A = this chain, B = another copy of it.
């Protein structure tokens, strides 16, 4: 099952989700957003059967959940879950991918300074596909989202990588045409 708890009257939905996530993780999620409300009507009318789902992300170096019975599972290797929980996970993953270009999710999963390869890895993990290196950097440069520092990090192998920091600058919104991503089927 997914971590959950009943609502407390004195807190907002957002605060309740944050509290539940912190209880399960030990740390506050770097990003948290509502997925939606899920309910079916197969219960007795007197019983309320409604779930408000939230999705959050934590960096890969976040501590393992220690106290309770929580455990991590890869999205590609999920155990059998109750149908609604599986439905929530699918919607949460889709929401996360769709938010990636509009909310600074990736930068909150990284330390204050990071390499562009680190950043690209976060994008590739969330999107679930490889990205082209030159195109990624071109788009990043055009977006004025990062600025270089004068530090370089030496990894285990290969050429050292320059460190960048998240420093978005104002720019005008990109008014593109229509894309027709709708697919048949």
Residues of chain A whose beta carbon lies under 8 Å from any beta carbon of chain B: 7-13, 15, 34, 36-41, 43-47, 50, 52, 98, 100-104, 123, 127, 129, 131-132, 135-136, 139-140, 142-145, 168-171, 173-175, 177-185
B-side contacts of A11, CB under 8 Å: 41
CB distance from A53 to the nearest CB of B (A): 9
Q: What is the interface of chain A mostly: helix, strand, loop, or mixed?
A: loop
A45-B178 contact, Cβ under 8 Å, with A34-B37, A184-B170: no
Whether A182 lies near B37 (C-beta < 8 A) is no
- How many copies of this chain does one complex carry? 2
CB distance from A9 to the nearest CB of B (A): 2
Whether A182 lies near B102 (C-beta < 8 A) is yes
Whether A10 lies near B41 (C-beta < 8 A) is yes
A101-B180 contact, Cβ under 8 Å, with A12-B39, A39-B13, A40-B12: yes
Whether A180 lies near B143 (C-beta < 8 A) is yes
Whether B39 lies near A36 (C-beta < 8 A) is no
A170-B143 contact, Cβ under 8 Å, with A41-B15, A47-B9: no
Whether B10 lies near A45 (C-beta < 8 A) is yes
CB distance from A147 to the nearest CB of B (A): 12
Whether B179 lies near A139 (C-beta < 8 A) is yes
